Structure 1
Amino acid sequence: MRIAAVGDNCIDDYFGTGEAYPGGNPVNVSVYAVRLGLAASYTGAVGSDQNGRLLRRALAGKGVDVSHLHTLPGRTAVTRVELCKGERVFREYDEGVLADFRLSGGDLDFLCGHDLVATGLWGRIEGELPRIKARGVPVAFDFADREQGPVLDAAAPYVDYAFFSRREDSGELRDFLRAFRQRGPKVVVATLGEHGSLAWNGEAFIPCGAVRCPVVDTMGAGDSFIAGFLAGVLQKKPLAACMEQGARSSSVTLQYRGAW
């Protein structure tokens, strides 16, 4: 079973501590997928700087296939992060060379050789999803906390598993999940932090509690949930079991600094 993660990456630079860690939604998903025993690749672009070399080495060291990680002249993306009582707060973001990255035909063929493609809001590949879906490859997409916008409009019809980040369950959230599923996805999931997660499959809402654990840093918690969930999908587990696997994966990430 192979997951292709594609899209954005960055170096998470922690304000005031001097710490810096590789990250980015699809990058994190690829690392967590390997941690769960799957094969995973990451397709994207880093700059020709020290951060780019760091990110490439770190991914390869975790066992992620980086054969389609491109190096472009310029800066690797950087996100400034502040840690407030264990909760990460994103500050400035420098997109660097990712602003110019586009998938090649070879990249697309490579992605479609996997069992599932995972990407997200800042990955800049929503326009390529029709071609991926036409080749029969399931697509997972992390929409983060966005409820509307051009990326949602472009991606929704071609996504099988849609993920959103919210703070708690509510009637408004359930209405949103119902409405969004009608736009294309088979399953829509909202991660709810300490309140667990909630999924809508068109027939029933499936809740799942969070796994209680010491929280050191929330960076990557949602991405590790996604990786655990998708591992369950590829293992053909029931929806509730996929969510439980996502919660367990997230609890591991919460107990250390940085995404991985």
Structure 2
Amino acid sequence: MKIVTVGDNCMDIYSDGKAYPGGNPVNVAVYLKELGADSSYIGWVGTDPYGHQMAEALKGKGIDKTFLSRKEGKTAVTHVELIHNDRHFGLYDEGVMAQFTLTDEELEYILSHQLVHAGIWGHAEWYYPLFKQRGLLTAFDFSDQLEHGLVKTLPAFVDYSFFSYSKDDEFIRELLKDVKKQGSKVAVATLGENGSLAYDGEQFYQCEITEAEVVDTMGAGDSFIAGFIFGTLQGQSIQQCLKSGTKKAAATIQYFGAW
């Protein structure tokens, strides 16, 4: 099971000054590796100490970082505040990732994998038509950017589209229907404490959360995505994939930082 994630990474800096490696594609790669997949990550870090910390952290997790590039400048950072154990994002500085592009060599490397995953902040969306044309399975995290222009254009090239919302209501159901109509195989929404919801064009699937002691919600959505993707590639049903994602998320929220 070879999976590659592409795009944004950042150091999550908490109010106490502690910094943890993160970013949706990075987190998904790490969680997939923990589940047993062969995962790779492609992205840019700066020449600052945070870039070194990110590289060492990925190495320590056994992630293939052949195409993790060091660029002159600063590694992306996100300032995080914990309020009642729920993470709230503050200022975000993209650093060198603001100019991220893929080389021909990197594109060929990506195409040697089974599935590629990226997110809304990763500057990788331009390559998705090529990924689909070449027969690669694709996943994409639109996060909570439900009104973003990409929601109306990218699902045609995304097999598994993921969203973050708050509850199961008519709005999110209509959005998932529209995303499926555009071309996605399955459209999925995580709903915080209200569980998760998926739509495959025929029916909706619901899954409640798994009760766990919440220490830090950082990475919960990303770990859900990893669990869902892993389940999909194992041939699990959509309902089973929702449960796999939920189980992985429940484990992640019981410690500080994404991983």
Instruction: Pick the TM interval, shorter chain.
Output: over 0.9
Residue 143 of structure 1 corresponds to 142
Amino acid in the other structure paired with 1:68? F
Residue pairs, 1:173-212, within 5 angstroms: 173-212=172-211
In structure 2, how many angstroms separate the alpha carbons of the residues matched to 1:28 and 1:147? 21
Q: Give the drift of 1:150.
A: 3.1
Alpha carbons 1:26, 1:42 under 8 Å: kept: yes
Q: Give the drift of 1:237.
A: 0.8
In structure 2, how many angstroms separate the alpha carbons of the residues matched to 1:103 and 1:33? 22
Alpha carbons 1:8, 1:98 under 8 Å: kept: yes
SS where residue 182 of structure 1 aligns?
helix
Task: Give the paired residue count.
Answer: 259
Of 147-156 and 29-38, more deviation after overlay is shown by 147-156
Alpha carbons 1:77, 1:94 under 8 Å: kept: yes
Q: Give the drift of 1:149.
A: 2.8
Of 175-184 and 47-56, more deviation after overlay is shown by 175-184
In structure 2, how many angstroms separate the alpha carbons of the residues matched to 1:252 and 1:190? 19
Tell me the alpha carbon deviations over residues 88-128 of structure 1, each in whole angstroms, 9 at most, x when there is no partner: 00000010000111000111111111110010100101111
In structure 1, how many angstroms separate the alpha carbons of the residues matched to 2:14 and 2:57? 18
Is 1:9 aligned with 2:23? no
SS where residue 152 of structure 1 aligns?
helix
Residue pairs, 1:62-211, within 5 angstroms: 62-211=61-210
Tell me the alpha carbon deviations over residues 211-239 of structure 1, each in whole angstroms, 9 at most, x when there is no partner: 10000000000000000000001101111
Residue 39 of structure 1 corresponds to 38
SS where residue 11 of structure 2 aligns?
strand
In structure 2, how many angstroms separate the alpha carbons of the residues matched to 1:128 and 1:211? 35
Amino acid in the other structure paired with 1:195? N
Structure 2, unmatched stretches of 5+, are none
Residue 51 of structure 1 corresponds to 50
Tell me the alpha carbon deviations over residues 146-205 of structure 1, each in whole angstroms, 9 at most, x when there is no partner: 123333344221000000001111122111111121111110000011111000000000
SS where residue 166 of structure 2 aligns?
coil
Residue 254 of structure 1 corresponds to 253
Amino acid in the other structure paired with 2:211? R
Alpha carbons 1:127, 1:155 under 8 Å: kept: no
Q: Could you tell me the percent identity over the aligned residues? A: 48
In structure 2, how many angstroms separate the alpha carbons of the residues matched to 1:89 and 1:25? 15
In structure 2, how many angstroms separate the alpha carbons of the residues matched to 1:150 and 1:168? 22
TM-score normalised per structure 1: 0.98
TM-score normalised per structure 2: 0.98
Is 1:244 aligned with 2:243? yes
Alpha carbons 2:151, 2:179 under 8 Å: kept: no
User: Which runs of 4 or more aligned residues in structure 1 lie more than 4 Å from their structure 2 counterparts after TM superposition?
Assistant: none
Alpha carbons 1:77, 1:98 under 8 Å: kept: yes
In structure 2, how many angstroms separate the alpha carbons of the residues matched to 1:25 and 1:129? 17
SS where residue 182 of structure 2 aligns?
coil
Alpha carbons 1:126, 1:154 under 8 Å: kept: no
Amino acid in the other structure paired with 1:26? P
SS where residue 29 of structure 1 aligns?
helix
Alpha carbons 1:162, 1:185 under 8 Å: kept: yes
In structure 2, how many angstroms separate the alpha carbons of the residues matched to 1:173 and 1:151? 16
Q: Give the drift of 1:3.
A: 1.0
Q: Give the drift of 1:2.
A: 1.1
Amino acid in the other structure paired with 2:197? L
Amino acid in the other structure paired with 1:62? K
Alpha carbons 2:74, 2:96 under 8 Å: kept: yes
SS where residue 106 of structure 1 aligns?
helix
Q: Give the drift of 1:36.
A: 0.4
Amino acid in the other structure paired with 1:5? T
In structure 1, how many angstroms separate the alpha carbons of the residues matched to 2:3 and 2:175? 28
